[in-house]
Each structure stands twice: as C-alpha cells, then as structure tokens.
Homo-oligomer: A and B are copies of this chain.
Amino acid sequence: MYNFMFHVPTKIYFGKGQISHLEELKESGRSVLLVYGGGSIKRSGIYNTALQILKDVDLQVFELPGVEPNPRIETVRKGVTMCKNEDIDMVLAIGGGSTIDCAKVVAAGAKYDGDPWDLVLDGSLVKDALPIYTVLTLAATGSEMDCFAVISDLTKNEKWGTGSEYMKPTMSVLDPTYTYTVSPKQTAAGTADMMSHTFENYFTKQEGYLQARFCESLLETMIHYGPIALEKPDDYEARANLMWAGSHAINGLVSEGSADAWCVHPMEHELSAFYDITHGQGLAILTPVWMEYVLSEETLPRFKEYGVNVWHLDPNQDAMQIAKQAIEKTREFFFTTMKMPANLRAVGITDDRYFKKMAEKAAAGSKGSYVPLQPADIEEIYRRAL
C-alpha cells in the first residue's frame, strides 16, 4: 500500500427529505450563488423547495442557471464575475456532476485573481475557495463528495479535469428520490461513469487488497442495481444504492493507497472535447475495447479476480478464459442490459479524422497508468471502438 492522506470532510445528508438541512448554509454567510442546469429542477419542484429554505434563513440568492452537460469555462467565468461583483459568500449547486463541477471552479475562481481556466489546467493554483454546498440530482460523477471538477473550453477542443482540497464540498444532500425522473439514457450513462471510476482504481499495478475488495463491492452494487433502476425508475433501494456507490467510487476510499493514474477517462475526455458526446456513453464504449487491449499475461491476475469476484465466474476455469468472459460480460452489461450505444458510430462519430490528435492528448493524460499507452495504442483503441 502506498502512503496516502485520506480526508473526506463533506457532511452527507442521505435520504428522503434531507434537503431541509440546507438551512445549515446560514453558517457560511448571508449570500449564496445558486448554480443549476437546464431547468429540470424547476419542473421537479426542487428549485422552489430550496429557495423557500434559503429564504427562511434570510439568505440572499443570486442565480447562475444554464450550466451545460459538459460545463464550459465561459459559464464558470460568468459565475466568478458574479461572486466577485456581488461579494457572494458561498455557492450551492443543485444538479448533477456538471453543475457541481462548474460550481466548484466558480467557488475557487472567486478567490483567485486570474482567469479561472488557469485553475482547470493546474489545480495546485487553487489556494482557497468559497464554501461549496450541493444537492445531487444525478448519480454518476461523485463530484458531490470529491475534490475534482471537469471543465471544457470547446473553442479549443479542450476538456480537462482539475482537483483541489479546497474544492471538496462542505455539505451535500443526497436524496435518491430526486433521481426517479432521470431518463434511462442518463441512468445508464451515470452507472457507466461510476463503474469507470471504479475500474480506473481497480486496474492498478500497486495492490491495495482492501481497496480492491471495496472496488468489487461497488461494482457488484452498480451491476445489481443499474438494471433495476432502468426497469423501475422509482425503485428507492436501486436509486439509493447507485447514488451512494457513485459517491464512494471517487471520494478516495478506493483510490488512496492503491491507484495509479487513470487511463480510460483521459481517452474519453478527448471524445467529449472533440464531439461533445455524453461522457458515460463514451466511457462505456471505450471500456471493453481498452480491457481487451491491455489484457496480457501480466494483467491476467487482476482480470481473473474481476471475473470471479464481480461476475462470479467459475474460478476453476482457465484464467485467460475467465478474463475474456469477464470482458464479454462487461460488454453485454453496457450494451444489452443497460441498452447503451455500443460504438462510436452509434453516438454520431463516423470518421477518424481527429483520432491522431486526440490520441496524442490522451496519452499525456494517462501517463503512469496501469498499462502505459502510446498515442498509436490509443489511436488503435479509438479505431476499434468506431
């Protein structure tokens, strides 16, 4: 096990009706920037509920609506300007990972003198941030309980992840009933996203035994409840388990002490940056291809464990057989059970003209990962995924 620091200071209020705890925002000041996306929180009533609670504790509310699915730096800049001009005390994100990511960089940008894009390129520049609160409406990114944010500058085809201790939320409300209205497409994409976070930490050179077992627990939970949530969108146990698993997939529990650099996420970020596709769909498409590509005698033991412990394959079979079956199970899960688009063409990417450029950028991002890949490897993976 590597040396590590583990610190998850975010207070989580989990369950039905926990939004009432937004009254605790009064502990962080008198004004709040409410950050949200396309207006679904107005249709669902969460917006009104939240506003009433904030009003009841005399908080002045400013609004930053319209955060995009792949949040743009332009929106971050707008939020930062509002925070600075109005001297806002805290941010409250109500939405999924994109909204929360945007709010995090707004909170950090409000305490930074330069352009917030600097903070996206280098998280170590974040030296302070406004307190960040979140109400989660989509189980996927884990942003509600971690230090990360992913922001895009589509004018440059750039999409980068950043992270800072200062960007960990102070408090997050996780009410699984808020995800009842999440569409089948987004439910599947969210499940794929959290599974990918877990894979990134599971397929690692440095054995962390406990962390690996925790990864398997998360994967089993996602595989068990993803299809139930798809079938029955208001199944509380399904939504609750997916939501809580999504948070733990990326809050440090399965990475600290164990993980290498990530490899599939950097590849997918280029897909989203060049084609603006749904992140979770891109991950699902790339994952089985990547698994096949890196399966070797050296990586076999972990793939075998994956097959036996997660998919409950017969451990007495030949190891390579188990590994291949496990990859096939993964493919079936995403593309048959969860009904996701199975290749890049199915999400509208029909040619390979940017693959070379994308692969070069992705290779930089995946340096030091489980199986280090060269640009030519990544280009080949994109091509096989086409």
Contacts and interface: CB of A to CB of B under 8 A. Distances in A.
Interface of A: 1-18, 176, 207-210, 213-214, 216-218, 220-221, 224-225, 236-237, 240-241, 244-245, 248, 253, 256-257
13 contacts: A1-B14, A1-B15, A3-B15, A3-B18, A4-B14, A5-B14, A6-B11, A6-B12, A208-B241, A209-B241, A210-B218, A210-B245, A216-B217
A139 to B, nearest CB: 12
A225 B208 CA distance: 12
Residue with the highest number of chain B CB atoms closer than 10 Å, among A2, A3, A176, A245: A3
A244 B210 contact: yes
Contact of A12 (B5, B176, B220): B5
B11 A5 contact: yes
A204 to B, nearest CB: 14
A208 B217 CA distance: 12
A223 to B, nearest CB: 11
Given A1-B236, A14-B257, A210-B241, 7 more contacts: A3-B16, A3-B18, A4-B14, A6-B11, A209-B224, A209-B225, A240-B257
Contact of A214 (B14, B214, B240, B256): B214
A311 to B, nearest CB: 14
A10 B10 CA distance: 11
A220 B210 CA distance: 8
A232 to B, nearest CB: 15
Nearest to A219: B213
Residue with the highest number of chain B CB atoms closer than 10 Å, among A4, A208, A213: A213
Given A3-B14, A240-B1, A257-B14, A213 B220 contact: yes
Nearest to A213: B217
A3 B25 CA distance: 20
Given A7-B12, A14-B257, A217 B210 contact: yes
